[in-house]
Copies of this chain bind each other. A is one copy, B any other.
């Protein structure tokens, strides 16, 4: 059995000040604005910190200073590999400056997303990072009203709530279609997740092709198993298929495995293109043609923009289009 523990109350700045023989505020300054305090006093205070085992209470400090040094970060789900580099670099960049990330998962559900945004605002974060755009109007207004820096990402619009770092999925879809057209492939299919951004790419892909092509939708987040399933379903409706665009590299991998399993040679008989340039894409056999996106850079830039704004700086380019590039590898070279 494990019982609740009732430890002695943690030391407060008050205890430190008493131990050091200085006033509360001097202790406070010694720790957070040392330039205002004599070296001697700083030394005494630091010693008192050691002696008492003091750790500051950032909640209390934040209440008065209105700076929580907390940044909210919302993504659909941690299991979506695409966003990991973004959140990894975002979290790292924040940590080095003493900020921490509060994580929220919206599960691709707009209602949950709105509840989550409200819950986050209630924590008075100094900023908020959103994967995707906020479409819900009342959530947009709440965020605007909160008056904190907000970075939307992984998508594009000229009118973000506040700031944006991303790229256009419409352009991605069109570029992939252009690539497919340049190859002269005739029997094209699509295996795609059903989330908003994948839909944008898919629609642009088809409208650039100038026609509808056989398409299989799978629930996001799409994985290897979904990719295998998708190819089976695609072949059932389009037996002569010779090229597939997949909404993620995980799906693409599933499609490739399923093809090989069925004795269909990739790329000779079936060309496959993914999206996201996942870690493994370059190292499989065949290596996967995909769309490279600067996921880590998104997190880095967003962290910088949010923190700069927290320092009161102006942001020269509040809307950044990082673009993308098609990375041709073996899965489409024949």
Contacts and interface: CB of A to CB of B under 8 A. Distances in A.
Instruction: Among A7, A95, A102, A121, find the residue whose CB has the most chain B CB atoms closer than 10 A.
Output: A95
A53 interface: yes
A158 interface: no
Interface stretch (A79-87, A173-181, A193-201): A79-87
A220 B60 CA distance: 38
Instruction: Among A81, A92, A107, A122, find the residue whose CB has the most chain B CB atoms closer than 10 A.
Output: A122
Contacts of A24: none
22 contacts: A1-B316, A2-B162, A5-B147, A5-B162, A55-B122, A58-B124, A59-B59, A70-B123, A73-B103, A78-B78, A79-B88, A88-B105, A91-B105, A95-B105, A98-B119, A100-B104, A102-B102, A102-B103, A224-B280, A225-B279, A253-B280, A257-B283
A70 B103 CA distance: 11
A4 B309 contact: yes
A63 interface: yes
A284 B257 contact: yes
A314 B2 contact: yes
B91 A103 contact: yes
A7 B285 contact: no
Interface residues of A, number: 77
Interface of A: 1-7, 10, 53, 55-60, 62-63, 68, 70, 73, 77-79, 81, 84-85, 87-88, 91-92, 95, 98, 100-105, 107, 116, 118-124, 142, 144-147, 149, 162-163, 223-225, 228, 250, 253-254, 257, 260-261, 279-280, 282-285, 309, 312, 314-316, 318
